[in-house]
Structure 1
Amino acid sequence: MSVKQNNSIIQRQKRFFKISYQIAIKKAKSFTIPGFHEVPLYYVIKFFFKGIVNGAITTRASAVAFSFYLAIVPTLIFLFTLIPYIPVKDFQVQLLMLIKGIMPDYAFHTVQSTLTDVLTLKSGGLLSFGFFAALFFSHNGVNALIEAFNATYHTIETRKFFEQHLIALVLTLILPILVMIGVVLIFFGQKTLNWAIKLGWIEMNLTYYLLDIGKWFIIIALFYFCISFLYYLAPAKRERFRFFSGGSSLATLLIILTSLAFSFYVNNFGQYNTFYGSLGGLIVFLLWLYFNAFGLILGFELNASITSAKEKLDNDSSPILE
């Protein structure tokens, strides 16, 4: 093949990719996705990537992860010291099995003995200390998350100091309640399923397994609802954000995927124990916490991008239409 023929082929390929790109852009400027407030996909992506590049998302995620890391220990102390006081038969055992199913195997085995002791032994003094410590540090963690939302590249109004801390306190009190409701629903759902099998109402067939899988749909729905509630209440002008949004869907998906990915990696390929010993579980947990914070901020950036793009599109003289 001559040089002239080769150049001709290259030029045709360039024209093909250029035309394909122009067609894709044209389609994206008219294509909308549910949850994007009827804003075309092209403009949402344009604002979204601008927010990612200029929004220092990794720094914000690191700050949030550290704040929640400080909160996780007193919060776990309070919740687990509260569990022995719950007068439900086998509740502690069922909860331990639920935690085992969610956490990566190595991370669970690292804290299994401690969890077992805390879930079965009553301690009134530790319960009181855990409550106030958990409230203080969890409030700081939620406030750090709100600050991370307010630090978005896109223009989002912020609240006054005391108003923001009050909202952080409300979220700190409500979100754990929602999580506990989900845990109770899962627990009693499993108990009801076992009871139905014992009475012969259902058998160990496809129906049983479908109902058993249903509890994980409850977990996913609970994740989505909590994230939507957080995105709706945390911003200063929440009327700009719909309760069910594209950002909530993205954050829920990312949190589930990161949890599954880390669980798979640690269980099959992780060598944390070989290199770091007992620090392996801590490393896994910190990474998981960081990527979850990253997913939450990324979902909020998507909501902020949708809102900013919609405001720009409403202005006919905006450069976004050029």
Structure 2
Amino acid sequence: MAGQTLEDKLMRFKPFSYVVHMLQKIVIPGFEGMSSYDLVKTYLNGIIEGALSSRAGSIAYSFFMAIFPALLFFLNLIPYVPVEGFDLKFIAFIYELIPAQSLPFFEPIITDISLNERGGLLSFVGILALLLMANGVNAIFSGFEGSYNVNINRGFIRQYLVAIGVSLVLALLLVITIATLIYFEFALHELRDQEFMSASTDITLLSVGSYVFFIVMIYAVVATLYYFGVKEGRSSRFFSPGAFMTTLLFMLTTYLFGIYIDNFANYNELYGSIGALLIMMLYIWINSNLILLGFELNAVLRKLRVIHKNPNT
């Protein structure tokens, strides 16, 4: 029939209608009788109407362009961190974040940046690196503001200033994470030397602890981006469903992406050294989609909460 919507047509299929009826019976706590179906419907509508994939592509490009300025800024920051061995731990941490097949391409660049002095943190190079790093954060914020479920946007200058502030916060988070990991490793070695634990236990705890610190840092970064990303973000909690979902999906896709690249993809054979760039871009694009998916979930929850508090809006 001409007047039927896509939803009406899908409801004619029994499996679909069964799932819909089940979701309509599941009430979301704290939303005064709102069903899970309302959440799923609004969430999918936001993804489709908000052109999520194209926004992720824009974020991926800007973020890729900001990687090396960010690295330069962090390396300029290292002399101000009073933790022995911090520079080596930082480089090792960066290598862990990069896909294995991209590492041969990026390792010489990272080594060159780390070995050659380019001025202090407050030098022209340091300030320029901070501004370029803020471009990547600003691109993420612009992607958030393109959401179908976001109604209030900041002005360009205010948003860029917020992006600079958030960039500094993220830099501080990374420094704290690595410094804590160094002290954690030192404490484990001391316990081993005092014979409170065996060498194998020391290695196991260090491996598990490093993984936990990494997950906590990823969650903190994502939650910070969601909280400051849009003007409406501060009405959400720092510990949000969207940040939790994005962190879980990030860990899962990183693991699966590594398996795919190592066993099925042949970018380096097809494209040579440029294949490393393609792998890195694909990895960033996937994670850009995950960031937007988590943000969209938080935005939908905020929108539905407002609707139920003010039904006439």
Hey, what does 1:273 align to over in structure 2? 268
Q: Any unmatched runs of 5+ in structure 1?
A: 1-14
Q: CA deviation at 1:209?
A: 1.5
C-alpha distance 32-194 of structure 1, shift in aligned 2 (>3 A): farther
> 2:53 touches 2:289 (CA, 8 Å); kept in 1?
yes
Query: Deviation string for 1:179-205 (max 9, x for gaps)?
Result: 221122122212322232122121134
Query: Which amino acid in structure 1 is aligned with residue 160 of structure 2?
Result: H
What is the distance in 2 between the residues matched to 1:154 and 1:309?
A: 10
Range with greater deviation from structure 2 (169-178 or 251-260): 251-260
C-alpha distance 92-142 of structure 1, shift in aligned 2 (>3 A): closer
Query: Deviation string for 1:227-285 (max 9, x for gaps)?
Result: 11221122213343222111111221222223222222222233122111111211111
1:212 pairs with 2:200: no
Hey, what does 2:4 align to over in structure 1? none
Hey, what does 1:10 align to over in structure 2? none
C-alpha distance 113-141 of structure 1, shift in aligned 2 (>3 A): closer
TM-score, normalising length: structure 1: 0.82
What is the distance in 2 between the residues matched to 1:264 and 1:34?
A: 38
C-alpha distance 24-275 of structure 1, shift in aligned 2 (>3 A): closer
C-alpha distance 307-176 of structure 1, shift in aligned 2 (>3 A): same
Q: CA deviation at 1:84?
A: 6.7
C-alpha distance 111-151 of structure 1, shift in aligned 2 (>3 A): closer
Q: CA deviation at 1:23?
A: 4.9
Hey, what does 2:223 align to over in structure 1? 228
Pairing partner for 1:307 from 298, 302, 309: 302
C-alpha distance 126-271 of structure 1, shift in aligned 2 (>3 A): farther
Q: Any unmatched runs of 5+ in structure 2?
A: 1-10
Q: CA deviation at 1:55?
A: 0.6
Hey, what does 1:26 align to over in structure 2? 21
> 1:75 touches 1:130 (CA, 8 Å); kept in 2?
no
Query: Which amino acid in structure 2 is aligned with residue 125 of structure 1?
Result: G
Query: Deviation string for 1:161-189 (max 9, x for gaps)?
Result: 33222211211211111122112212221
> 2:241 touches 2:297 (CA, 8 Å); kept in 1?
yes
> 1:36 touches 1:245 (CA, 8 Å); kept in 2?
no
Hey, what does 1:251 align to over in structure 2? 246
Hey, what does 1:69 align to over in structure 2? 64
What is the distance in 2 between the residues matched to 1:221 and 1:77?
A: 24
> 1:272 touches 1:280 (CA, 8 Å); kept in 2?
yes
State the structure with more CA Rg. 1
Residues 1-322 of structure 1: pairs in structure 2 closer than 5 A = 18=14, 21-32=16-27, 39-83=34-78, 88-119=83-114, 121=115, 123-125=117-119, 128-206=123-201, 209-314=204-309
Taking only aligned residues, the RMSD between alpha carbons, in angstroms, comes to 3.0
Q: CA deviation at 1:88?
A: 4.7
What is the distance in 1 between the residues matched to 2:18 and 2:195?
A: 60
Count of paired positions: 302
SS of the equivalent of 1:123 reads: coil
TM-score, normalising length: structure 2: 0.84
> 1:48 touches 1:301 (CA, 8 Å); kept in 2?
yes
